[in-house]
Amino acid sequence: MYYSRRMSRSLHVRLDDSSAAALSVISNGGLSDSEAVRTALREAAARRRARSSIVAEVERLAADDADRAEMRAIREQMAELAPEATD
């Protein structure tokens, strides 16, 4: 039989005033400091993963010649439909 044992990692940090204030906001809902830090780390990691996905999508679209040509055609059509500028 195989048993998996999760090892917890202990981390010690020194908080500056703004970090302490941020921790206070996060833990205000009744979380312990440890729970608040774990929550903040998970949320930050999720934001970075999402940002990386968006960057990858933008790079993919920028390299897609067919998509760029279609967007150019749409811009030209929109310019034809736009009213004349008056000064």
Is residue 6 over pLDDT 80? no
pLDDT digits (tens, 9 = 90+) for 65-82: 999 999 999 999 999 998
Q: Are 15 and 23 in contact (CB under 8 A)?
A: yes
pTM as predicted = 0.58
Q: Higher pLDDT residue, 46 or 9? A: 46
SS3 content of the chain, % helix, strand, coil (to 5): 65, 0, 35
Instruction: Classify the phi-psi angles of 54: left when phi > 0, otherwise alpha if psi is within -120 to 50, otherwise beta.
Output: alpha
Q: What residue ranges do the domains of the chain occupy? A: 31-81
Round to whole Å and give the CA distance between 52 and 63. Answer: 17
Spell out the residues 6+ positions from residue 26 whose beta carbon is closer than 8 angstroms to its own: 36, 37, 39, 40
